[in-house]
Structures are given as structure tokens and as C-alpha cells.
Chains A and B, each alone.
Chain A
Amino acid sequence: MGRTYDIDPDDYVREKPGRQFLVRTEAYTDRDVFDLEMRRVFERTWVYVGHETELPSAGSFKTAQVGRQPIVVVRGKEGELHAFFNRCVHRGAALLREAAGCVQELRCPYHGWVFDLSGKTRLVSERNDPGGYGPDFEQPEGLEPVPRLGSYRGLVFVSLDPDIVPLETYLGSMKHIIDAKLDLSPTGRIAIASTPYVCRYPGNWKLQAENIVDAYHFMHTHGAFVKLQAKFGDSTGDFGVHKGRSTREMREQRFRGTTRSCRYGHGFAQVPAADTDGLLDGEFGDLYRGLHAQHGQEAFERIAAKATSTVFPSMGMIHQQIRVWRPISVDETEVLIYPYELEGAPDAFNAGMLRSQERFYGPSGFGMVDDTEIFARVSQGLRADRVEWLLFDRGMDTDEQTGEGDYRGLPSSEAPQRALWREWRRLMGQGA
């Protein structure tokens, strides 16, 4: 590739254990840093590309981006999943352009080459016509596969790094959060039925990665929502998502629980359910009592807890949604919000959850738009690059290291954000 540009990541992330954690402005604003991230971060991690229910039958496909690489995931004849780089091996045309759909085979519209659902070359059109391919032609075997594909409980990830650790090792303690969220379904399964919200913001992708696990900002960025919740929370179907009626209750509830900085860059913030008895006796008591009987008290409390999480580098789970962020450039990012259904939960429960997505996360909702507006403000502020550092020290002195290479933090610690930057520093320091 002949790239000569390189950085010393220790210049960008400075950590004095237990005392100081700084990130350099240019980590968010420098185009060369961004270009390097596309290779060193996105091509060396497990990147979430979709959920199995988005690929229901043979021929179902979903297109995705891994950093800057367009890829497509296809379900094969035997139900197995394949991931390919989304380009014809002949002259490079993208084979599939829709976000998702279903095909019998992959046919390139440029010269008509055909590939089967497992990516094998089925037809080189007019192969033996005058001026066609001779007997020595080395016909490509098929589409270029993405080196690794794996799934955990229906969540499908790919990696461009053939030597990456197994997906379950990579997810580490984040698996407990995924488990807790999916176990809220009586069958342990979720389904993506709704088309996603798609929004963009003028700012670096890491702002979204940091924000989705930021317990600290809520009472400030979303202060008006907290007031709205106190006044309208019972009438507009908030659905217990932002439990706590008064501002005081909301604050108390927000500052319970724990945060986590995980190995491999993931982070989460977890808050215990405000009122498990209320859940068991409430409108959806049948659902919760069933879960309680199925899993027992201790596991039930984990399942009923609220968690927000980020799977490094570009996927998150918050509320009843899967979120994906796609870096477009150093200062532009696209965010896709996929509400999911709990299989086996009452229809009214899943429908109510959709209303709560509209209310907070949609482009006309009362939450997400405030976050993206703050990202624009951060982008404006970071133009002041004469100020060298952003501060990520909060809660550092009370974070505790765990056996598996994580740090456990108190509820409003910036431990989850530090996870991202620790892994960023590690990956960005590994040359070519």
C-alpha cells in the first residue's frame, strides 16, 4: 500500500493509571488519523453487520460497510451465512445496492457474470464467443470472501482480520449484557421487523460511540426531556424506559448501578430496575412473572435491569434497539437505529416499545436529536485545536480492575469511554 503516514498513539491517548486520562483533539479531527482508523480499527475488529432475522431465507441479503469496505452478507441454500466484498471480481461493479432484499443468485448487471449464493462463479457470460476467454484463462473461483464471519445469539459480525480472536472471546463480558437484553424475550430471541431510523451528524464517529454509554450527560443534555417525563410520562407511553417521575427520582435512579470498561474496547452502563415488584404486578405482569419463573430471582434482576452498551467499534445496544454507526468521513457519521421485537412478548408490549422509540430516538423525538446537536457543537468546539486535550478522567480513582481485563466503575464514571480509547490506542499502535 506504500503508506508512510503513521502516528504514535501514546501522543493521542495519555493514561496515568488511576489519576489521569486525556485524549488529543486531533484524534477526532485529523483526516490522516481517520484514514488510519479505517484500516487499523475497522479492519482488525469484529464489526456488527446485521441480525439473523434480517436474513430470513435462502437468498436473503444485507449490505453493510466495514470501515470503507462495502460488503454483503447472503444466506445460502443450506441456511448458512456468507459474507463477501460487494464487488464483481471481473471489473468491480457493486453486485447488490439495496440495504436488504432477496435474490436467487448474484448477477452482475455490467457484463452478466453470475455467482451462486455461496459466492462461487456460476457463469462467465459469452465465455467462448469471438474475442472471449481462451483455454488458459484463470477463471476466478468466486467472489472474494470476507475472512471471518461469526454470530452470537443471532447477532452477525464479520472481521477482515483472519487472525482475530474468536467472536465470543472478543465480546467478553459484553456477552452478559447481550444475554440480559435478549433474555427479556420469553424465547430468548429477538426479531428486527421495523425499518431503521437513519440520521447523520456533522462530527466524528467516536462521539456516538462515547455518548451511547454516557450516563453522565443524561440529566444535562436531556434535562428538558426529564421535565417532559415528569409532566407527561404516564400519558404518552414512555413505557417505563425512563422510569422515575420527578427530576429527583430520575437523578437518583440514573446514579445507581455500575459502569464497565471492557477488554477489546466495549463498555456498558447498567442500572437496576427501579421497581421489580411493579413489573411483576403491572400491565405486562404475565410476561415478567414468566421470566421470573423461567430464570429465577437473581437472573431476573439482571434481565429487568436497564443497560446501555457499545460493542467496539461501531455497534451499540440501548433500550430495545440495536444501533450501528458508520463513519463517512472524519467529520460526518451516519447512525442507524434498529428497533427490535421480543419474540414471544405480547404484541402490545412490542408496539408500545415502538412508540417509545419514536418518542426519544426518532428524528422528531425528544432525545437523539439533542445528542446529535451536541455532537455538532463538539465539532465546532474542537476547531479550537490550540486546546490540546479532552478529559476522560471522571471516576478513574474508583474504577476497579477485574480478573478478565475489565475495569468496573461507579455509575457515572467515564469507564466505558476509557475502554474505547484504550483499545483505540492499542490498535492504532499496530503498524501495517
Chain B
Amino acid sequence: MLQDISQFVFREAKLLDDKQYEAWLALFDDDGLYVVPLTEEPRPGRQADIVNDNKAAREERVHHLMHHWFPAQQPPSRTRHFVSNVMAEERDGLWRVSTSQLIYETRAGDWFQVGLGEVRPIVAGVDYALREVERGFRICEKRIRLLDMAGWQANLAFIY
């Protein structure tokens, strides 16, 4: 089972690296959440997150990336995910998966283009709650806990 779960998580990362966003959307349950918190302290309703996407918000995010020209993704980000330390346990009918991820991101550019051409590392613990379905899994929740969530964030206008 751990191997199946690992393969699922690796595939999710590859879909993002390959910008296969429609296929990425299909990995989620209809009531699934994609969350990037600003703090470890849970304060429901009182704390802004970096991302707190339900289905409609995920679809909007993907639509924006796929169909719009906007400054923050001109040129667009390229990413490469490294996924490791995959551990899983079953609880309350869901697979609780914890991973470590090192995500490199860059936007093409030369030294003269302010802010472009640098490869930036994003270091995070990425946790999943997965529901087992026929022929695989669906994501109930993907939660990205940025190592530097307490610090300043650069342009994160892509899906990571």
C-alpha cells in the first residue's frame, strides 16, 4: 500500500511539474481542500491562509494559469518537485500521508531582468489525506507547510 500511495504522490507532483492542471484537478474529491497555511496555529475563521482552495477556487486558479496573461507569471514559472520521506497511516477511513518536498522554481530570464532567472527552493512538509477509491485515491486535503511560513514569501503565483 505504501508503494501505491508513494506512486500517487509522485504522480501528483509530476502533473504539477508538467502543468497538467486539468488532470491535477481530477485528483481531488469534490469537497477536497488545497491549503497552504501562514501559521501552524489553527484559528479557524480568524487566520488568513496563503491558499485555502475548495473545488471552485482550484478551478479558478487553474483557469487563471492556463488562459490569462498576467505580470506575475510572465514568463511562467517552471517547477521540479523532489518528494521524499513518504509515510502513511490509515485513520478514520482515510490515509494520512506525510512527505517532505523540495520544490525548485524558476522563471526564465537573464541577469538584466530584475527578479528573473533565479532558481528558488521551496522547502515544505506536504501532508495529504487520501480516500481510497476503486483504482486509486482521491485527495481530501493537500496541506503544504512551508518551512519558512513565518518569514517573507516571494511570488507564489503558481501551483506548487
Contacts and interface: CB of A to CB of B under 8 A. Distances in A.
B75 to A, nearest CB: 11
Per CB-CB distance, the 8 closest pairs between chain A and chain B, nearest first, are: A224-B68, A369-B72, A224-B70, A363-B153, A376-B115, A351-B45, A373-B71, A380-B114
B45 A354 contact: yes
Nearest to B107: A373
**Of B39, B59, B68, which is in contact with the most chain A CB atoms at under 10 Å from its CB?**
B68
Contact of A334 (B113, B150, B152): B152
A199 B151 contact: no
A376 B109 CA distance: 13
Interface string A16-33: 000000000000000000
12 contacts: A194-B38, A194-B43, A195-B38, A197-B50, A341-B46, A354-B49, A358-B52, A363-B153, A369-B71, A373-B155, A380-B112, A380-B113
B23 interface: no
Contact of A363 (B43, B70, B150, B156): B156
A194 B71 contact: no
A366 B64 CA distance: 8
Contacts of B59: 232
B77 to A, nearest CB: 11
A350 B153 contact: no
Contact of A199 (B47, B51, B113, B154): B154
Given A199-B153, A228-B64, A364-B36, A377 B48 contact: no
Given A193-B47, A202-B114, A373-B115, A236 B155 contact: no
Contact of A354 (B47, B56, B64, B113): B47
A372 B155 contact: yes
Nearest to B159: A364
A195 B150 CA distance: 9
B152 A198 contact: yes
Interface residues of B, number: 36
Interface of A: 193-195, 197-203, 221-225, 227-228, 231-232, 235-237, 334, 339, 341, 347, 350-351, 354-355, 357-359, 362-366, 369-370, 372-374, 376-377, 379-380
A320 B105 CA distance: 31
A326 to B, nearest CB: 10
Nearest to A378: B114
B69 interface: yes
B17 to A, nearest CB: 17
Given A373-B72, A376-B115, A228 B152 contact: no
Contact of B70 (A203, A364, A370): A370
**Of A355, A362, A377, which is in contact with the most chain B CB atoms at under 10 Å from its CB?**
A362
B68 A221 contact: no
Given A195-B38, A373-B115, A358 B47 contact: no
A224 B154 CA distance: 20
Contact of B56 (A194, A235, A339, A365): A235
B39 A202 contact: no
B114 A350 contact: no
B11 interface: no
B50 A364 contact: yes
B115 A202 contact: yes
Nearest to B55: A235
Given A374-B71, A377-B71, A362 B154 contact: no
Given A197-B38, A354-B47, A355-B52, A232 B60 contact: yes
Contacts of B119: none
Given A221-B71, A236-B56, A354 B154 contact: no
B57 interface: yes
A231 B63 contact: yes
Contacts of B38: 194-195, 197
A362 B35 CA distance: 13
Contacts of B155: 363, 369, 372-373
Contacts of A355: 52
B157 interface: yes
Contacts of B36: 364
Given A193-B46, A197-B48, A225-B70, A363 B154 contact: yes
Given A194-B38, A376-B115, 17 more contacts: A195-B39, A199-B153, A200-B154, A201-B115, A202-B115, A223-B70, A228-B63, A236-B60, A237-B57, A359-B57, A362-B48, A363-B155, A373-B71, A373-B72, A373-B155, A377-B114, A380-B113
Nearest to A368: B72
Contacts of B52: 355, 358
Nearest to A374: B71
A193 B43 contact: yes
Nearest to B151: A198
